[in-house]
Amino acid sequence: MKSTKNISDLVLVRHGQSEWNQKNLFTGWKNPSLTLKGKKEAEKTGENLKGKNIAFDIHYTSELKRAQLTGEIILSILKQESIKTIKNIALNERNYGDLSGLNKDDARKKWGEKQVHTWRRSFDEPPPGGESLKDTAERVIPYFKNVIKPNLENNNILICAHGNSLRALVMHIEEISSEEIVKLEIATGEPIFYKVKNKEIYKI
């Protein structure tokens, strides 16, 4: 269904399982593709969205191919491949810095379970050479407010991105505290649905 006056749909989707998710590696800004499971997750999301009868107008995604491919698969299932796709680095995953490419278990052995957990789940402590969730939010939220949100009034929007960039978006949209947002898990391929009415965003 096309957006009606003052009512639009906003759907957030984390990319399907990547090759490095499968290998238990810190990924960040590295650029692996989807696994077969990840492609199937994207297909399942596309089928799920079919039942919602949403005609998307704009697809926003990151500059990383696992998110881009997830969006392409979803839009293909929906037969909406021709809509505008906008790629921007602001929607990239957290940069994990020195952790990027490392096996998570090996990282725990090197730095200790507690320290790695702090880097992964604190709001404002980044890993060496990388970003915290706070840093990620400081690029994601302004992009959403200045670029995406103005288009929500008359457009249905799909955002395919990453666990932490979407966590930052959810924190902003749902006004979740920094203490609580770090506990939020966003599964690969699982959509989050919002309605937009009179410039206000509501979770459904």
Q: Which of 2-6, 38-42, 121-125, 156-160 has the lowest mean pLDDT?
A: 2-6
- The continuous run of DSSP H or E covering 65 comes out as helix 65-77
Fold of 7-203: Rossmann fold (3.40.50)
Identify whether 59 is a catalytic site residue: no
93-107 pLDDT, tens digit each: 999 999 999 999 999
Rounded to the nearest integer, the mean pLDDT of the chain is 95
Identify whether 117 is a catalytic site residue: no
pLDDT of residue 2: 59
* Alpha-carbon distances, residue 66 vs 93, 125, 157 (angstroms): 11, 26, 19
Domain ranges of the chain: 7-203
19-39 pLDDT, tens digit each: 999 999 999 999 999 999 999
Dihedral sign from CA coordinates of 2, 67, 200, 198? negative
- Are 155 and 86 in contact, with CB atoms under 8 Å apart? no
126-177 pLDDT, tens digit each: 999 999 999 999 999 999 999 999 999 899 999 999 999 999 999 999 999 9
Residue percentage of the chain with pLDDT more than 90: 94
Residue percentage of the chain with pLDDT more than 70: 98
pLDDT of residue 198: 87
The residue annotated as part of the active site, out of 93, 131, 162, 172, is 93
Phi and psi dihedrals of 32, rounded to 5? -70, 160
- pLDDT of 3 over the 80 cut: no
Q: In 10 A of CB 74, how many CB atoms?
A: 29
pLDDT of residue 199: 85
pLDDT of residue 71: 98
The residue annotated as part of the active site, out of 15, 59, 162, 172, is 15
